[in-house]
Structure 1
Amino acid sequence: MTAFIIRTLASLIAIISMAANATAERVEATYNFIWNGFVVFTAEAVLEQSSASYAINMNVRTRGVMRLFNRGEGDLSAVGTIGPDGQIVARHYVSKGRWSGDDYRKELFFDETGKFIRWERDWPDEWLEDYERAAVPEIMQYGPDGLSFLMLLLTESPPAATRVFDGDHVMEIRLACARGSELKDSRHSPIKGAATKCQFESETVAGELIETEEQQQKRLKEEEKARKKAERYARRHQGEDEDAEEDEAGIPIWLQQIEELGYTLPVRASFKSDWGTIRMYLKELKTSDGVHLKP
C-alpha cells in the first residue's frame, strides 16, 4: 500500500465521520472524491444508532483513473455503546479489503470502558516491513477508533480536539469552525449556498512511523513517480478542476444545514495528496424517513 493510499484513506475516514446532529435512526451518505475533474474514490457511509448503541459501516473504493494506479476496495465498521450521560465507548472495529492485489484485515477489541484489549492483524509481509511504528504507551490505548470518532461529533458541543487510536498509533484530531462561507454551484454535488467552513488538522502523538533512510528514500521515490504519472495523465486527458481557486493549505471542510432533512453535514472538503488537491463532494443522502438528496 503506497503512502498516498494510506494518507488518503485516513483523511477519508476522518472527514466522512462528521455527519453531525443526525436525528434519524439510519443515515446513508455517498461521497465522491474528485481529482483534476475525475472521480478517483467513492465512499458510502451508513450510521445506525439508538439511545444506547451505535453501528457505523463504510465502503471505500477506487474509481476511474485511480484504478490505473491502485485497484482497491475497503470495508470498515465500528460498534459501541452510548452511556446515560452521552459518553461514547468503542467496543469493536474492523478494517478489511483488497488494495493493489493484496488482501488485508485489521480487527480491534475494546473492553466496556473503551480500553484497548487486543487486535488481530493480517497484512501482507511487505506492508509490515514498511510499517514499523514506535510503541504506544498503555495509558493512551483507548478508543475511540477512527469511525467511532463520528459519535463524538453527534453531540451538541463536539470537542475541539480528540485523540483517536487505531491499534498502533494515536492521532489527535482538531477542528476549528467559522460561519460565513458560500458554496458555488458544482456539477459534482446538488449542494450550494451558505455554509460553515471548518479547518481540520491531525497530528500523530504516539506510535510514530519508524523509517530507515533507505525506506524513506523508497517512499519519496514512489510518491514522486505517482505524482509525475498523474500529471502526464491529466495533460493527456485535459481534466478540469472547477474549484481550483479555492485551493489552500490544510484540510478545509464545509458543513451545511440541510433544512428539509434536519441535518448539518459535511458537504465538501479539500485536501492535499501526492497527486495534488483532491476534493470531496456529498453526492447523495438517504435517511430512515425515506428522504433522498441527490443531483
Structure 2
Amino acid sequence: MAKCAFIGLGVMGFPMAGHLQAKGHEVTVWNRTHAKAEKWVETHGGKMAASPAGAAEGAEFVFACVGNDDDLRQVTTGPGGAFEGLHAGAIFIDNTTASAGVARELHAAAAEHGADFIDAPVSGGQAGAENGVLTVMCGGDEAPYARAEPVIGCFARSCRLLGPSGSGQLTKMVNQICIAGLVQGLAEGLAFAQKAGLDGEAVVDVISKGAAGSWQMENRHKTMLADQFDFGFAVDWMRKDLGICLAEARENGASLPVAALVDQFYAQVQQMGGGRWDTSSLIKRLG
C-alpha cells in the first residue's frame, strides 16, 4: 500500500480519491473549497492538507484532477503548489483533461525535482468514476508508468501507456473528437425519428443491434427522447475539451471539420442556457 495525495475533489476526483482510500492506500486530499475536502474525509477517512504542497509532502503518488491548464499550473508549480512538496522518486499523475503542451511542460518541471510526471486523462464520466471503471490514457516514461499502473487501477477498468509525455492528452483528444460526431449523429437521428412520427424507443431498439449502435445510443437515447439532460459530462466542459482539440489540430495540421462544427453547435446550446446540460443536449437545438 502506498502513501498517496489527491488534488481536486470535483465530481470525478471525489470518488476517484475514495477508491484509492478504499483499496487500502493512505490518502491525503486537498481541494480549493475547504468544505469539500472536509466532506471527503468524513466520507472516506484519510487526511486533508492545507495546500497542494502539504498534500504532496512525503507522498509516493500524487494525483490531480482539476479544471484546465491554468488550474493545473496553479496547483503544481504555483505558490504552495504540489511540486514544492514532491520528493525525489515521487510520481505525479495528472487526470485532468488538459493540453499536451502543459503535460510536457510539467513533465520537465517534475524532473527538476527528481520526480516523474504522467499525463493520465480519463474517460467514463461521473458514473465511471463512482463505479471505479474509468478508462485512463497515459503519456510518460515506461518505468514510472509500470509503478503507477496498479495504483491507477484502483479506479480504472482500462489503463494503457500510449507513448511519451503528452500522448495521454492527445489520445483523450481523439476520444472527444469521436464522441462529438457520435452525439451529433444520434441527436439528428432521434430528432428525425420524432419529426417522422416514429416511436423513438422502438427505432433505437432495432438499430442499436446493428452498425449504428454505440455507447451514446445505449446510454443516452432515453433521456434525450425525454428531454432530460442532467446525466453526464457538461456542455461547458465539452467545449473546453474541443477547444483543446482544435488548438492542437492547428498546430499539427489535422483537419477537424466535424469537430469544429459540433463545437459551434455546443456554443448555441450554451446560448440557450444549457452550459451545465450534458453533452447529449445537442438535440435541443433541433426541436
Greater RCO (Cα-Cα under 8 Å, separation 6 or more): 1
Going by fraction, where is strand more abundant, 1 or 2?
1
Q: Is TM more than 0.5 here?
A: no
Q: TM-score, normalised by structure 1?
A: 0.26
Structure with greater helix share of residues: 2
Higher Rg: 2
